[in-house]
């Protein structure tokens, strides 16, 4: 029996990629697709919107969402509509996969509260390559230590609304933890004017927005006489969509709790 999947924000760029990825995963079937109540995509066939072929699943208003019609909901939207979907999943005892970023501390607390009742996978990036990169960064940071300055450089398309990216921030957290720092205390997000010399043990973030860049992240370890760079580049959103559907197939058999892609991929804890 296949797992019934719902997709929130189905008419968006990532929503359409998720529809495609769901169709490619034999363990899953698309059961529902949702959009904002004022979306012009309401009533359209989700498959035709994504691939040009009908699937028999019409895009419905999020206001009419019924969690009894699906086993897991996948959301790559924005914090507010994501949290509304989360409430519906909790009410209907459905699992959730969350790729949305930009949550504030209060909103993150709502995810934790929901995870006491349902299983959910929350990750800033669902690419297997990115999650392997996080492991490599942890190893490099521990080995290089305070002798190397650390900078995180990320680039995304012009439509991305939050900065730095959730993936860049997660990289910063891994780097800080590996070197015994608190990211809140050591992160530097902007430099302009007369900044003075770089303070030791800071972690810098540089953000690029432009064109149709899917997602690129580089961590630069700069020492005296040498540099180490670890880079991940995504050329297709299917990288993330496929990982999210892998998470959807996995999470439905888990107990209530908040999981990440390390759990899905079996990479172990941070």
Q: In this predicted structure, what is the pLDDT of residue 269?
A: 54
CA dist 239 → 84, 126, 154, 185 (Å): 26, 8, 17, 33
160 is annotated as an active-site residue = yes
Please pick, among 160, 194, 217, 232, the residue that the annotation labels catalytic.
160
Within 10 Å of residue 260's Cβ, how many Cβ atoms?
21
Give the full edge-to-edge strand order of the sheet including 203-209: 187-188, 203-209, 149-156, 215-222, 227-234
Sign of the dihedral through C-alpha 119, 178, 100, 213: negative
Q: In this predicted structure, what is the pLDDT of residue 248?
A: 98
Q: In this predicted structure, what is the pLDDT of residue 101?
A: 87
Q: In this predicted structure, what is the pLDDT of residue 270?
A: 47
216-264 confidence digits (pLDDT tens): 999 999 999 999 999 999 998 899 999 999 999 999 999 999 999 989 9
Q: Which two tokens stand for residue 185?
A: 């205390």
Q: Which helix (H) or strand (E) holds 119?
A: strand 119-122
Tell me the H-state helices in the chain.
Answer: 13-24, 46-50, 79-92, 105-114, 128-144, 166-178, 183-186, 238-251, 261-265
The residues, any chain, with a CB within 8 Å of residue 91's CB and separated by 6 or more, are 67
Q: pLDDT tens digits, the chain, 270 residues: what are they?
A: 799 999 999 999 999 999 999 999 999 999 999 999 999 999 999 999 898 889 999 999 999 999 999 999 999 999 999 999 999 999 999 999 999 988 999 999 999 999 999 999 999 889 889 989 999 999 999 999 999 999 999 999 999 988 999 899 999 999 999 999 999 999 999 899 999 999 999 999 999 999 999 999 999 999 999 999 999 999 988 999 999 999 999 999 999 999 999 899 887 654
Domains of the chain, each with CATH number or no CATH = 3-126+237-265 (3.40.50.720), 128-234 (3.30.360.10)
If you count them, how many residues does the chain have? 270
Q: What are the residues facing 161 on neighbouring strands?
A: none
User: What pairing do the DSSP bridges indicate for beta strands 95-98 and 119-122?
Assistant: parallel
Please pick, among 117, 135, 142, 156, the residue that the annotation labels catalytic.
156
Reduced 3-state DSSP string for 74-90: EECCCHHHHHHHHHHHH
**Phi, psi dihedrals of residue 66, rounded to the nearest 5°:** -125, 110
142 is annotated as an active-site residue = no
Q: In this predicted structure, what is the pLDDT of residue 268?
A: 66
CA dist 89 → 106, 118, 162, 213, 245 (Å): 19, 8, 25, 32, 17
């Amino acid at each position: 029996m296949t797992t019934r999947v719902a997709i929130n924000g189905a008419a968006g760029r990532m929503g359409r990629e998720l529809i495609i990825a769901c169709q490619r995963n034999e363990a899953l079937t698309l059961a529902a697709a949702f959009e904002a109540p004022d979306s012009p995509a309401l009533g359209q066939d989700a498959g035709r919107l994504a691939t040009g072929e009908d699937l028999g699943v019409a895009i419905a208003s999020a206001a009419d969402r019924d969690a009894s019609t699906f086993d897991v909901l996948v959301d790559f939207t924005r914090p507010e509509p994501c949290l509304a979907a989360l409430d519906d999943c909790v009410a209907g005892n459905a699992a959730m996969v969350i790729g949305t970023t930009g949550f504030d501390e209060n909103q993150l607390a709502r995810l934790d509260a929901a995870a006491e009742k349902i299983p959910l996978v929350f990750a800033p990036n669902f690419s297997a390559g990115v999650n392997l990169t996080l492991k490599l960064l942890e190893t490099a940071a521990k080995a290089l230590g305070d002798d190397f300055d650390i900078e995180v450089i990320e680039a995304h398309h012009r439509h991305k609304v939050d900065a730095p990216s959730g993936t860049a921030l997660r990289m910063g957290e891994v780097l800080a933890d590996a070197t015994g720092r608190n990211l809140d205390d050591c992160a530097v997000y902007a430099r302009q004017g007369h900044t003075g010399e770089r303070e030791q043990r800071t972690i810098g973030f540089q953000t690029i927005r432009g064109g149709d860049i899917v997602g690129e992240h580089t961590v630069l370890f700069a020492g005296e006489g040498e540099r180490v760079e670890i880079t991940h580049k995504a050329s297709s959103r299917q990288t993330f969509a496929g990982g999210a559907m892998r998470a959807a197939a996995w999470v439905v058999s888990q107990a209530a709790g908040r999981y990440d892609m390390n759990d899905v991929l079996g990479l172990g804890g941070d």
